[in-house]
Structure formats: C-alpha cells, structure tokens
Structure 1
Amino acid sequence: MKKLMILLFLCHTAFTGKIVKHSLMYFLTGSSGIANIPDFVGVGELDGIEAGYCDINNKIIQPRQDWAKQILDDDRAHLEMYTYLCFENLPDFFKGFIFTLKQQFNQTEGVHIVQRIDGCEWDENTGEVTGVLQYGYDGEDFLKFDIKTLTWIALKPEAAMIKQSWDADINDKKDDEDYFTRICPERLKMYLDSGKSSLQRTVLPSVSLLQKTPSSPVSCHATGFYPDRAMMFWKKDGEELHENVYHTDVLPNHDESFQMSVSMNVSSFTPEDWRRYECVFQFSDPSSAIVTTLDKAVIKTNWKKPSKLIVLIVIAVVVVAMITLIPAGYIFYKKKK
C-alpha cells in the first residue's frame, strides 16, 4: 500500500512554488469482518481539506464545510446523487467486490478491506486535467486505471482476471473517460468557486524555540496556523537537515487552528555554530515562510539552575554520607577478615 499512500500525499500537497493545482478526491473504503465498523465509508476532499463524509450505518451525508452544506441545501439533485452513491450504489459494489476478491485469493474468513481513490486534478495555469482511479486490497496496491489509454493495470497477479473483465467493458470505460475529463473537473471548479473564501484563508502561527533542559533537544514549535497543510524543518547554512531532526504530527487546537513541532539535537553544537541553524515554517508558498534563527537568548524553558544553597546541601549530604559509610565499611572489612 506504500505506493497508494505516496499517491495520496502527492494529491494533497505541493511545496514547490505557488499552488496552481487543485484536486477533488474521494477516498472510499469497504470492509468485512470488522465488528462495530461500517461496511462502507466515503470521504470527499477538496484541495486536501475534508468537505464531506458518509457511512452506510448513519445513512446521512455529513458536510464538513459551510460551503459544502450550502451546496447540498441549495441543490437537491446534488444531495440525491451523493445519497444514492453512498447508501446504495457504492456499498453494493464494494460488498460484491470483496466477495470476488476473497474467492480470487481463496479466502473464507478474516478481516478484508478494499480501498479506492478516485478524483481529478486541475492545473489552473495550464488548464490540464488529470484523473486518478486506483484500488487497494488488504493494504496492498491492486488495480490502477490508466486514464490516457483507458485500460486497467494489474498491480497484483490476482488482479489480472479482473483487469481483463473490466477492459472488455467498453461502455464502462467511456463513462470513466467522461467522468475524469468533464464531470469531475466541472464539479471541482464549482466547489472551488463555492469554497473560495475558506479555502484561500491562511493564518500564520506564532513560532517559539523551546527546551526542557540545557542538554535536551531544541524544539521549534508553531501554533495557531491555518490550514493544516504546512511544513517545518531545520536548515544549516541554507540547506535542509534530516539527521537528528524529529517531527511531530500536525495537531488540532481547540479554536480550529493547528500546531506542530520539529526538534533538533544541539548537544554537540559549538557556540559559534548556533546562528548557522534556522527553523523554517511555511505553507506551500515559500513567500509565507517564517524563519527563526537558533539563539540561546530566545529559547523558552522551565528549567532553573540549582541555587548555591541547594548545591551546598547536596555536597554536605555527600560528605556526611562518606564520613559515615567509610568507617562502617572499614569495621565490616576488619570483622570479615
């Protein structure tokens, strides 16, 4: 499933230059043998932001954004389309597909999962449209549709028979071509127009350098940013670092903003080296970058240097212990001898 996950990442993010590509992606999951989990779940995302959700148990289309709710409220045909897909068409298809695959792999029991990604990308600069349609089974890539040749690619030997069957269905492939070249791009542009204000909203974070103790890694922490499609990294002399650098996941705050951190081990740094290091936070557009130079003077910490009194007490305790234990040890040694 590694290739499938890489594909997901590429569909969601682009960190080189200004974003010119937009994506509408549907992530669909059918399963069997999992207690208390819906047999079918669907999630729709626009430019990597969840727009809507449905599952076969709830029987409700759940918009995740205000603009998505407005579309469903204003366009009954749109709501009926997603209702049919989520609660009739797709659950039946996934159920039958899992049954077929279990026979193909000679499986009778156990947990089995089919995942499907479908959608399209539109380059607003060039007008180019590309489609995505791929299946995974039990955590591994299984089938992929080549939009240009309108043929299926078997990614596992067991997929060869299904590939032949689906390649032979000319009408179905024509429907796929129409969906990826016309329907999906039109829907994508409509959603972009409806969600323009929220999709283009960006909020920069406050960035701080944190350290627990003088020997701990220095953490560069950003909080309060929106959206969550951001990245942080450490640089030395302008070059991004990868060794001895530790990233946290992007986490939500209570106010719908996000936070994240990237830490770096500084125990081997000389005082002269510190200012050669920089922490960088940025969205997809590099012009939004916030650069923080590694500087001991701005690091926040709760650690306090032990007072002289505490040091003297510790020394006194050690001395008393030595005065007490050494004679006792000598007496024990003499007795034993």
Structure 2
Amino acid sequence: MVNVSKMLNERSRKILCAVVQDYINFPDPVGSRTVARKYSLGISPATIRNIMADLEEMGFLKQPHSSAGRIPTDMGYRFYVDILISESGYIDRELIQDLYNRLEDLKDNIDMLFSETTKTISTLSHYLGVAMSPKPDIFTIKKVKLFQYGHDAVVITLFTEKGLIKNKLVSLDLELSQKDLNRIAGYINSEFAGYTIYEIRRKILNEMAKEKMMWDKLITKAMKICEEAFFSLQCELFISGLSGVLELPDFADLQKIKELSRAIEDKHTIIKLLDKLSELDGVQIIIGSENSIEEMKDFSVIVSACKDENRTVGTVGIVGPTRMNYPKAISIVHTAARFISEILTER
C-alpha cells in the first residue's frame, strides 16, 4: 500500500485532517470557510479553498455536487487513519474496567464471552460489533459432560484446560438415558482428556478405522457422539447492533442497507475475512474500496486478534460506514481485544 502521507506537505495534511474530522462529526460536505473558522489553522479561506482543490485533484477529497463543499474519499480516510495509528496509543483503561464490570461473570463460557463482547462493542461505538471465537483445534480438553436434551439430542459440555466452557448441541438417531450418557462421558474422558481437539479428531479417525466388531455397544455410541461433536466444532461468528447502525444517516440509501444485509448473511465470507486479518499483529483497518468483499466496499472494517501468548484465540471488530469515528472505534476494538486476551491468558 502506498504511504499517502508522504504525498502531502504540512499545510495540506492539516487541512485534509480537518475536513475528515469535520465530516465525521457532521455528515455534510465541508467548505473552506468552515475549516478556517473552526480549526484555527492560521490559513485564509482562499488558500484553504485552493489546497482543497489540490487535494481533490490528488484523490483525497471529492465534491458531491458543484455547489457543495468536499468530503473525504477512501484515500482521504486512509491518510487520516494512518496518522491516527502513528500517533495513538489506543488503550482506554476506563473501557477495560467497564468491560471487566460487564463481562467478568461470563469469562468461563467462551461463546457467551464473545457474544456479549460484540453487544458491548456495538453499544459503545454505535456500529456493528463483530467477533469470531477461537478455532476449536487449539483447545486442550480437560473433561466432557453429556446431558439429555429431548429424546434424540445431547448437550455436550466441553471443559478446556484453561477452565473455559463450550456447549454443543448434537442430534442423534440414538435413544440414550442419562445413565448411558454418564458412562459414555466417562469413556470419552478416559480416552481423550489432555488432548487437543485436533488430536482427538485424529484419534477418532484411527479408532473408527479399526474392526468395528471389536467395539461393544457403549464404545459404538461414544464414537457416534464424538464424531458428531468434535468434527462439527467450528469458529462461531457473532454480530450485534444492526438495528442501531441502520439509524445512521449514512444508511438513508436503501442500496447500502441491502449490501450490508447481504454481507452479514454470508457468514462464511466474513469468517474468512476475519480469519485472514487475525493473522496480522495489531489493529487492522480496511476502508471502503480496500475491502475484498464486494458488498462491503462502502464500509470500513476494524479488527484486532485476541492473543493467548502467541496463539490467536479469537477476533473482535467493528463494521460501519466509511464516515466512522475512527479514533473511538480503533480504541474500542484494541481495548476489547486486549481485554479478552488478558482474560484468556489469566486462565
């Protein structure tokens, strides 16, 4: 990516940042008189007007109609965000404490932790809160409990080595009593406790390759449950705050609403995007046309991976219009990722 900040002198940078900041605060095109009056740059309106025209020619600003002021392009937002990243420390200690107060009681249930984090992110930012739970492969299983759910389903509760809990509902063609399930759980724990889910999957495949005549009925049922549980575990995607986002003036255009709705419905694509971004360090910001998802080219995505030592144990982020309060959004995402990282590292 081109370092656009090197294309501008100091006066042009200040004027561009003023235009971007004003447009973020008030969704109206920004004129030279507004910049001169509100931002005390010590530059005359006429000079500001000329510099804004130059910025438009360079691709940082655009003019919605000839009689209006100017608004940032994606390139203009990128310049502004790159300045923020170079000058900001991100972390909001008050927000971390707020997250602890809101989510401390959920720290043992990993899906609830990520789900409620998205709600908190959305409430604080007024944009979409998104999160992706960790890849199940990395968890080491401490024990498993099984519970009846109706006549043909079982709730499998997985306890990891770090004390986290993950629940999985599995439908079966078997009728099993709670006594049967307790015995099966005992067998699963004796065979698989202390292994990662990746290792458990390999062990199950090895067991299933053996002569089935060697299995008794209990082991057959246990293998069926293990197959359904451990092979169907996936990253979970959590999204909160759509109704609030649609109230923003940026979504007066029905086409934008349709595009965002289509993007949210295609969860596989969003998971793929978050997974790719989670491999990178720090806060990652994709602005408008930089987005690889066609339906999201009018939106910005801010994402940060959650880390347990060197492992990625989830991803949190924000999706919103390109006219986004980037300082606040970046701080919220970075702080939420740090919060979850600390929670999981403490385990």
Q: Would you call these one fold, judging by a TM-score over 0.5?
A: no
TM bucket normalised to smaller: under 0.3
Question: Which structure carries more relative contact order (alpha carbon 8 Å, separation 6+)?
Answer: 2
More helix by share: 2
More strand by share: 1
**TM-score of the superposition, structure 1-length normalised?**
0.23
Larger radius of gyration: 1
**TM-score of the superposition, structure 2-length normalised?**
0.22
